[in-house]
């Protein structure tokens, strides 16, 4: 009798657990059907696979390309000194021009990335950087070259800053920090690859000179370093817009299509088999992606959106973090970029000074030897003077 009672109690607990499990599953499915899935759940269901590795590859290459774009002048300055007739002041202006472009461009591209989309801004900045870089390699005058390097800095800062949020907004929380840390490896590779390219190309005996035009090895170096930006910009057309950005703009249908595509890329299954059918909607009057810059009314809406985003950064709770991030970035760039850009020039000046000093010393030594043989110096007196000075 006691055994039967225990079995009855065990069975009742088992039925209770099953009922609870069924209720929880039904509740969860009802939540997904009624309220829709949030971003974190939707991106986690897509898995982590082929698409994420391809995305990490292209974002890493973009970051590596920006490392080359930022530090390329360090090898151009010594090589182009005579052709562009640069003194120390001119070299300082040429070094500062892309940095000034980065200061201005970072704000503009950042605002556009938050209003028009990450992908479109990345493509625009990469193509602009590549085309301006290729054209600048044919420039014959310092002032024009200075303007083009400013435009290069203006463009490259957009790609450098936006590739991080673009990569991060495709990652589940489990992998997000890891992928963003891997990006720094590509910057280091870019800084290593650039001197190798310079070492191979700049010393080449390559030159085309006419009465009004010249194209030398350093011009070829500038042109070749600009080509990856164009190729990466074209490759980026094969990738989707950030689904998180689409959700923030209220475009849930477009975001769901992106999730389905990522799911198919990672799993190899049909996109329609993606488990999530609806997403949580965010109410928004009008998506900023649909605004046309050439229409005055849409331009006013876009500028208002930019102003609101800028004002939010200058108020609590974002003000403290904004100032902290700006201070850290200022400290890093003021030391790192200064050394990276000027080191080749400093080494070149050191070598020239050393060679000039050595040549001068050798020249005076030769003159002294010549004087010995031509004027027949009294060696006995000369040696006695040396001994006396040493004993003294």
* One domain for residues 241 and 376: no
CB 125 within 8 A of CB 158: yes
pLDDT, tens digit (0-9, with 9 covering 90-100), for 276-310: 888 887 765 556 666 666 677 777 777 777 788 78
Q: Which domain, by its residues, includes 361?
A: 348-391
Give the count of domains, the chain.
3
Output b/e per residue, 171-180; b: 16+ Cβ within 10 A.
bbeebeeebb
> Residue 312 falls within a domain, yes or no?
no
Tell me if 304 is assigned to some domain: no
CA 70/CA 40 separation, integer angstroms = 35
Q: What own/partner pairs with CB < 8 Å and gap ≥ 24 does 376-382 have?
A: none
Q: Where are the alpha helices (DSSP H) in 205-295?
A: 217-235, 243-248, 252-267
In the prediction, which pLDDT does 155 show?
A: 94
Residue 161: count other Cβ atoms within 10 Å of its Cβ: 20
Residues 130 and 222 in one domain: yes
What is the pLDDT at residue 5? 44
Residues 161 and 124 in one domain: yes
Predicted confidence at residue 181, as pLDDT, reads 87
Sites in the chain below the pLDDT cut of 50 = 1-34, 363, 366, 376-377, 381-382, 385-386, 388-390, 392
Residues 202 and 162: their CA atoms lie apart, in Å, by 32
Mark whether 49 and 79 lie in a shared domain: yes
**β-pair type (207-209, 214-216):** antiparallel
CA angle 273, 40, 27 (to 5 degrees): 70
């Amino acid at each position: 009798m006691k055994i039967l009672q225990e079995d009855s109690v065990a069975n009742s607990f088992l039925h209770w657990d099953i009922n609870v499990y069924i209720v929880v599953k039904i509740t969860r499915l009802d939540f997904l059907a009624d309220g829709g899935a949030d971003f974190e759940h939707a991106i986690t269901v897509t898995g982590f696979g082929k698409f994420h590795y391809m995305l990490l590859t292209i974002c890493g290459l973009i970051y590596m390309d920006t490392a080359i774009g930022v530090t390329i002048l360090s090898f151009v300055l010594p090589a182009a000194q005579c052709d562009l007739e640069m003194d120390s002041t001119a070299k300082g202006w040429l070094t500062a021009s892309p940095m000034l472009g980065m200061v201005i461009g970072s704000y503009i591209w950042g605002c556009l990335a938050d209003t028009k989309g990450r992908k479109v801004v990345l493509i625009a900045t990469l193509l602009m950087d590549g085309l301006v870089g290729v054209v600048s390699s044919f420039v014959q005058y310092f002032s024009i070259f200075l303007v083009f390097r400013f435009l290069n800095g203006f463009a490259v800062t957009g790609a450098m800053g936006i590739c991080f949020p673009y990569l991060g907004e495709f990652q589940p929380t489990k992998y997000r920090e890891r992928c963003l840390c891997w990006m720094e490896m590509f910057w280091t590779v870019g800084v290593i690859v650039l001197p190798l390219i310079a070492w191979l190309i700049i010393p080449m005996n390559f030159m085309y000179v006419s009465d009004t035009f010249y194209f030398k090895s350093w011009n070829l170096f500038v042109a070749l370093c600009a080509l990856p930006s164009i190729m990466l910009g074209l490759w980026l057309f094969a990738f989707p817009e950030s689904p998180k950005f689409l959700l923030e703009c209220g475009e849930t249908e477009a975001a769901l299509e992106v999730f389905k595509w990522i799911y198919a890329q990672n799993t190899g299954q049909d996109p329609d088999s993606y488990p999530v059918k609806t997403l949580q909607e965010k109410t928004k009057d009008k998506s900023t992606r649909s605004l046309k810059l050439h229409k005055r009314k849409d331009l006013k809406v876009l500028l208002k959106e930019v102003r609101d985003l800028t004002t939010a950064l200058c108020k609590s709770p974002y003000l403290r973090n904004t100032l902290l991030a700006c201070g850290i970035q200022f400290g890093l760039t003021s030391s790192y970029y200064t050394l990276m850009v000027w080191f080749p020039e400093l080494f070149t000046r050191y070598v020239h000074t050393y060679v000039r000093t050595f040549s001068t010393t050798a020249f005076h030594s030769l003159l002294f030897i010549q004087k010995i043989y031509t004027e027949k110096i009294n060696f006995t007196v000369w040696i006695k003077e040396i001994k006396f000075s040493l004993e003294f």
